[in-house]
Amino acid sequence: MRKATCSVCGSEQPSGEMFALDGKPICAPCAEKLPAETKAAGEKLQLGRIMDPTICSVCATDHGDTQLPLIGGKPVCDSCAPGLYHRPFPLWLKAGLAVLLLLLGWSLWRSRHYFAAERHMVRGERAMDRHDYTRAANEFQQALLILPDTQKAALLGAKARFMAGDPDGAVRFFSQRSHWDHADALYKEVNGMFKSSVNAVRKARRAVTLDGQGQYDEAARLMTEAAKEYPQALNLAIASQVFNSRAAFYRKDYDASLAFAQAALDKSPGDPNLNASVAAALACKYALTGDAKFRDQAEQMLAKAQTLAQASPDDRAAFEDYSVRIRYRLQSREVLDKDEYDRRFPPKGAKR
Amino acid sequence: MFLIPSVVISVLTFPGVIVHQAAHLLCCRIARLAVFDVRYFRFGNPAGYVIHEATTDFKKIFLVAMGPFFLNSAFCVLFCSAAFLPLWEFRVADPLAYFFYWLGLSLGMHAFPSTQDLKGMWKLMPAEAGKFNLLAIASYPIVALVYVLNYAKFFWADLAYGLAIGILVPIAIFKALP
């Protein structure tokens, strides 16, 4: 231990218990009187504790005359120094962290079905971004198989079905859940799509009824509205073109009829009935103009429709029905609608 | 502005304070700096502290000052990710998930180094940058940002940071699922 003499009272004291004032040692009792004196003199007190380099600042062991090495400006003995560099973490901290990590591990293990469902959700959303709605709907269905009560999966599945033009499929997703969070923005969006599709289907049904009653222009107008209301529904878009083509035919506007029939075919080139509709419109053009180009095109389209119709018995039967009228039109250059044709040439077994 | 005394915030988010100080201690041990005193948590300001040996080695200062930022942020992401799917994606009222989200946000809120932590770095940065110390040069924007965020704590920047990394990072992680 080192000793120093107080620069104020002259007493000798252990230097570790003294202070320094302007570089001079001062004992604790004298230092205590200083604040009042300096305050009265209007001076600023510059007081610091003197460090005894022979006393360890950690364990306070007196090492006699041996000056200890300084660590961070403080004297530290050899037995205390390693402890400063390897200060242990307290047991409660290590135990707490261990418990939390165990809890986290258990939670992750318990949540593995969430991860499995999320993988399908992510794949589904990616498929939505690619406009692959069928794949998306399948992925959301997979997510629902894992977590049946997931509103987001049910809504996205319904949305995917709506976007694919399959309102019935969308309703199947809706029916997988009995209660909904009506404040959810996605719920509002999909519910809006649902309402639009219901309106569109209602209009489409009315259009079909009017078409059956021979009100072709009104039927075409309603079907066009239905297609606009539910633009994702391909069948409505095609029906809209077909109905407009038919309305134009009855107005004897064969150019418009051909254009609408071609627009319908462009949306579904593999449909034999739509190929036949173009053939029928081309036959009208041939009947009107006598231009062999239209006849050749009509025959090509009819041959294509015949090939495509072989895939299903219904399509084959439909082809047998309309092909005779189109061929008659090409042969006679006389445009007859179905009723007039049937009146003149009654189908086998039909009463005149 | 909704004002809550910092002591109350520290009490409500005490795990973040504890992990912050533990991270300081860990970094001091890694950097081989002597530690004289540690308070993991206390009712006061600061809510915790680590008194360690001073150094002029910029790498060590950087590690000790920024270590808690990275460790707290990493733990915040870890615990929030564990709670993200049930709470945010599937809307399941799972008490454990709520606990993990509170824990994660507490850790995220206390990720910022204090201005005291940054002062040591700030003092050395000009000289180190002058010696083309890349870490010191890269530290300029980080330190500047963290300084600003520290002062923006008044406007709940610490909570905003916790929420940001506790929500956005898990979203990014799960969106990257194969």
pLDDT of A106-122, one tens digit each? 999 998 999 999 999 99
Residue A280 CB neighbour total at 10 angstroms: 27
What pLDDT is recorded for position A3? 79
Q: Judge contact between A111 and B88, C-beta under 8 A.
A: no
Q: Predicted confidence band at B3 (pLDDT cuts at 50, 70, 90)? A: low
What pLDDT is recorded for position B51? 92
User: Which residues does chain A have within 8 Å of residue B79's beta carbon, measured at their own beta carbons?
Assistant: 104
Q: What are phi and psi of B134, to 5 degrees?
A: -60, -35
pLDDT at A352 over 80: no
CA dist., res. A172 & res. A151, Å (int): 14
User: What is the percent of chain A where pLDDT is above 90?
Assistant: 60
Average pLDDT estimate for A166-173: 89
pLDDT at A218 over 80: yes
Average pLDDT estimate for A214-224: 96
What pLDDT is recorded for position B38? 95
User: Which residues does chain A have within 8 Å of residue B86's beta carbon, measured at their own beta carbons?
Assistant: 111, 114
CA dist., res. A335 & res. A251, Å (int): 12
Residue of B nearest to A58 (CA): B36
User: What is the percent of chain A where pLDDT is above 70?
Assistant: 95
Beta strands A24-26 and A19-21: pairing type? antiparallel
pLDDT at A140 over 90: yes
User: Which residues does chain A have within 8 Å of residue B174's beta carbon, measured at their own beta carbons?
Assistant: 118, 122
Put simply, whether A107 touches B (Cβ < 8 Å) is: yes
Q: Judge contact between B60 and B33, C-beta under 8 A.
A: yes
pLDDT at B1 over 70: no
CA dist., res. A65 & res. A1, Å (int): 6
What pLDDT is recorded for position A41? 67
DSSP E strand boundaries for B61-100: none
Buried b (16+ CB within 10 A) or exposed e, A219-255: bbbbbbbbbebbebbeebbbbbbbbbbbbbbeeeebe
Axis-axis angle for helices A234-250, A272-289 (nearest 10): 20
Residue B140 CB neighbour total at 10 angstroms: 14
User: Which residues does chain B have within 8 Å of residue A114's beta carbon, measured at their own beta carbons?
Assistant: 85-86, 89-90
Inter-chain touch A114–B54, beta carbons under 8 Å: no
Give the one of A76, A86, A104 whose C-beta lies nearest to B82's C-beta: A104
CA dist., res. B15 & res. B76, Å (int): 11
Cα distance from B79 to chain A (closest Cα, Å)?
A: 7
Put simply, whether A84 touches B (Cβ < 8 Å) is: yes
Inter-chain touch B89–A118, beta carbons under 8 Å: yes
Residue of B nearest to A87 (CA): B35
Q: Which residue has the higher pLDDT, A7 or B100?
A: B100
Inter-chain touch B90–A152, beta carbons under 8 Å: yes
pLDDT tens profile B138-150: 989 988 888 888 8
Put simply, whether A194 touches B (Cβ < 8 Å) is: no
What pLDDT is recorded for position B22? 97
Average pLDDT estimate for A322-341: 91
CA dist., res. B23 & res. B26, Å (int): 5
Average pLDDT estimate for A208-235: 94
Average pLDDT estimate for A91-99: 96
DSSP category for residue A345: S
CA dist., res. B146 & res. B125, Å (int): 15
Q: Rounded to whole angstroms, what are the CA distances from A159 to A93, A138, A223, A304? A: 49, 12, 22, 36
What pLDDT is recorded for position B2? 60
Give the one of B40, B79, B91 whose C-beta lies nearest to A93's C-beta: B40
Q: In whole numbers, what is the pLDDT of chain A averaged over residues?
A: 90
Length of chain B measured in residues: 178
Average pLDDT estimate for A46-60: 83
Give the one of B29, B97, B174 whose C-beta lies nearest to A118's C-beta: B174
Give the one of B40, B53, B91 whose C-beta lies nearest to A151's C-beta: B91
Put simply, whether A120 touches B (Cβ < 8 Å) is: no
User: Which residues does chain A have within 8 Å of residue B89's beta carbon, measured at their own beta carbons?
Assistant: 114, 118, 121, 152
CA dist., res. B165 & res. B105, Å (int): 9
Find where tokens 């859940």 sit.
Answer: A177
Tokens of A265: 């075919």
Put simply, whether A71 touches B (Cβ < 8 Å) is: yes
Tokens of B12: 């409500």
pLDDT tens profile B57-102: 999 999 999 999 999 999 999 999 999 999 988 888 889 999 999 9
Inter-chain touch B40–A114, beta carbons under 8 Å: no
What pLDDT is recorded for position A66? 87
Average pLDDT estimate for A50-71: 86
Cα distance from B32 to chain A (closest Cα, Å)?
A: 6
CA dist., res. A209 & res. A53, Å (int): 106
CA dist., res. A325 & res. A335, Å (int): 9
Tokens of B80: 């929030």
Of A338, A334, A327, A337, nearest in space to A305 by CA: A327
- Amino acid, single-letter form, for residue A294: F
Average pLDDT estimate for A10-23: 81
pLDDT at A336 over 60: yes
Average pLDDT estimate for B7-12: 88
CA dist., res. A277 & res. A282, Å (int): 9
- Give me the torsion for CA of B61, B64, B68, B69, rounded to 10°: 10
CA dist., res. A301 & res. A305, Å (int): 6
- By CB neighbour count within 10 A (0-12 exposed, 13-18 middle, 19+ buried), where does A158 fall? buried
CA dist., res. A45 & res. A39, Å (int): 8
Give the one of B29, B53, B82 whose C-beta lies nearest to A86's C-beta: B29
Q: Rounded to whole angstroms, what are the CA distances from A169 to A156, A172, A248? A: 12, 5, 34
pLDDT at A257 over 90: yes
Q: Predicted confidence band at A248 (pLDDT cuts at 50, 70, 90)? A: very high
Q: Judge contact between B32 and B85, C-beta under 8 A.
A: no
Average pLDDT estimate for A320-345: 90
Beta strands A70-71 and A47-49: pairing type? unpaired
CA angle centred on A264, ends A260 and A265, rounded to 5°:
115
Average pLDDT estimate for A25-54: 76
User: Which residues does chain A have within 8 Å of residue B85's beta carbon, measured at their own beta carbons?
Assistant: 111, 114-115, 117-118
CA dist., res. A331 & res. A89, Å (int): 100
Find where tokens 């006679």 sit.
Answer: A332
- Interface probe for A, chosen from B28, B51, B89 (most Cβ of A below 10 Å), is B89
CA angle centred on B154, ends B150 and B157, rounded to 5°:
60
A165: left (phi over 0), alpha (psi -120 to 50) or beta: left
Put simply, whether A76 touches B (Cβ < 8 Å) is: yes
